[in-house]
């Protein structure tokens, strides 16, 4: 399940993040790659312990905490501190699957990567190529969103970034460990949550149908969540 989450960052927040990261020193993106990824990855990245990456990451994390759609879709238990990368001059990231367990360097912070996220920080008309392509049961899906918008997808998916043929593709990327490990269960809960919101908007929070559906949601979450 791919879920596009619009306007995670508004224009002002995108500008603040870009001001921080554009002035920073970038390094080879393979600094955080696993063995498989290093064979396919050609991009630049901010060092994860750089002051710019940490401050920009805080802006992203604060925004995620305010995003009801992200919370409903991910049911996050832990989020890896956001990282930042950019592609230019034909750089690309070949087909790969993300590492199952991500460890924050120099710390004991680690997460099981259930979900991957890409938060776009450059508008699509400003660069050529650079689509995120995710392989799934029904074929490939190509994603290229406006600055401030984010795509969330299973970390177990095979995916790639197409070569950037013009301009520069800049983005934040990170992983989330969900309270609900099973992807199918998360999908059911997300669909149910969206249905509850629709019923509540039409009939009110106190309507008996809304109350009953809300109870079903929380009882399923209680059954499946690991916190």
**pLDDT tens for each residue of 144-173:** 999 999 999 999 999 999 999 999 999 999
And the tokens for 207? 């309507």
Task: Give pTM, 2 decimals.
Answer: 0.93
Q: Which residue has the tokens 């070949």?
A: 94
pLDDT-above-90 percentage for the chain: 89
* Residues 121, 207 within the same domain: no
* Residues 217, 170 within the same domain: no
- pLDDT at 178 exceeding the cut of 80: yes
- Look up the CATH number of the domain holding residue 67: 2.60.120.620
- Look up the CATH number of the domain holding residue 206: 4.10.860
pLDDT band at 36 (very low <50, low <70, confident <90, very high): low
Phi/psi at 108 (nearest 5 deg)? Answer: -100, 15
Hey, which bits of 71-199 come out as E strands? 76-79, 83-88, 93-96, 101-103, 110-112, 115-120, 128-129, 132-136, 139-143, 150-154, 159-161, 164-166, 168-178
Long-range contacts of 185-188 (CB under 8 A, 24+ apart): 185/220, 185/224, 186/1, 186/73, 186/74, 186/75, 187/1, 188/220
The stretch 187-197 carries a mean pLDDT of 97
* Residues 26, 118 within the same domain: yes
* Residues 89, 168 within the same domain: yes
* Residues 189, 172 within the same domain: no
* Residues 25, 84 within the same domain: yes
Helices (H) and strands (E) in the chain, counts: 6, 16
* Residues 27, 138 within the same domain: yes
* Residues 7, 37 within the same domain: yes
And the tokens for 128? 């050529």
* Residues 191, 82 within the same domain: no
Domain limits for position 154? 3-178
Q: Which residues of 126-137 are buried (b: 16+ CB within 10 A; e: fewer)?
A: ebebbbbbbeee
Q: How many domains does the chain have?
A: 2
Last residue in a domain, options 142, 160, 178: 178
Q: List all residues 6 or more positions away from 3 whose beta carbon is below 8 Å from its beta carbon.
A: 69, 73, 151, 152, 153, 190
pLDDT at 43: 95
pLDDT at 95: 94
CA 26 to chain centre: 21
* Residues 129, 211 within the same domain: no
pLDDT at 29: 76
* Residues 49, 78 within the same domain: yes
Please count the other Cβ atoms lying within 10 Å of the Cβ belonging to residue 214: 17
pLDDT band at 106 (very low <50, low <70, confident <90, very high): confident
Distance CA 89, CA 91 (A): 6
Of 55, 41, 145, nearest in space to 87 by CA: 41
pLDDT band at 6 (very low <50, low <70, confident <90, very high): very high
Burial of 75 (0-12, 13-18, 19+ CB in 10 A): buried
* Residues 117, 219 within the same domain: no
């Amino acid at each position: 399940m791919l879920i596009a989450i619009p306007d995670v960052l508004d224009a002002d927040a995108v500008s603040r993040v870009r001001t921080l990261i554009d002035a920073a020193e970038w390094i080879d993106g393979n600094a955080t790659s696993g063995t498989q990824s290093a064979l396919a990855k050609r991009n630049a990245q901010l060092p994860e312990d750089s002051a710019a990456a940490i401050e920009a990451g805080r802006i992203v994390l604060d925004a995620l905490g305010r995003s009801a759609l992200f919370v409903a879709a991910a049911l996050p238990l832990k989020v890896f501190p956001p990282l930042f990368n950019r592609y230019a001059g034909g750089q690309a990231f070949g087909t790969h699957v993300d590492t199952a367990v991500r460890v924050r360097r120099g710390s004991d912070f680690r997460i099981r990567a259930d979900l991957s996220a890409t938060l776009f920080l450059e508008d699509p008309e400003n660069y050529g190529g650079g689509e995120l392509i995710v392989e799934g049961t029904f074929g490939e899906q190509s994603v290229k969103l406006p600055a401030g918008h984010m795509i969330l997808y299973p970390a177990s998916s095979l995916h790639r970034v197409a070569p950037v043929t013009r301009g520069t593709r800049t983005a934040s990327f990170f992983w989330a460990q969900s309270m609900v490990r099973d992807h199918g269960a998360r999908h059911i809960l997300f669909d149910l949550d969206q249905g509850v919101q629709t019923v509540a908007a039409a009939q009110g929070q106190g309507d008996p149908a809304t109350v009953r559906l809300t109870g079903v949601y929380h009882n399923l979450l209680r059954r499946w969540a690991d916190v």
